[in-house]
Amino acid sequence: MTKHYNIPIFIPELACPFQCAFCNQKKISGQEVVPEKEEIIHTIESHLSSFKETNREVNIAFFGGSFTGLPIKDIEYYLSLAQPYINTSRVNGIQISTRPDYIDLEILNLLKKYHVNTIELGAQSLDDDVLKKTYRGHTAKQVIEAAELIKSMDFKLGLQMMIGLPGDSLEKSIYTAKKIVELGADNTRIYPALVIKDTAMHTWYKKGSYKPLSLEQAIIQTKQILPIFQAAGVKVLRIGLHPSEGLLNGNELIDGPFHINFKEMVLSEIWADKLKGYFKKEADNIEIKVPKSSINYAIGYKAKNKKLLQKNYKSVSFIEDKSFSIKIY
Give the contacts of 37 (CB within 8 A, at least 6 positions apart): 81
Cα–Cα dist 146/107, whole Å: 11
Tens of pLDDT, residues 16-31: 666 788 887 455 434 4
Q: Find, among 91, 83, 80, the residue nearest to 58 by Cα.
A: 91
Give the contacts of 40 (CB within 8 A, at least 6 positions apart): 9, 78, 81
Cα–Cα dist 164/139, whole Å: 18
Give one word for 256, left, alpha or beta, with left for phi > 0 and alpha for psi -120 to 50: left
Contact 121, 143 (CB under 8 A): yes
Q: What is the residue extent of each domain of the chain? A: 3-260, 271-328
Q: What is the pTM of this model?
A: 0.91
Confidence (pLDDT) at 245 = 56
Q: Find, among 292, 290, 180, the residue nearest to 233 by Cα.
A: 180
Tens of pLDDT, residues 216-262: 999 999 999 999 999 999 999 999 987 765 666 667 889 999 999 99
CATH number at 3-260: 3.20.20.70
Confidence (pLDDT) at 26 = 52
Confidence (pLDDT) at 241 = 85
Cα–Cα dist 8/5, whole Å: 9
Contact 77, 122 (CB under 8 A): no
**Per DSSP, what are the bridge partners of residue 3?**
56
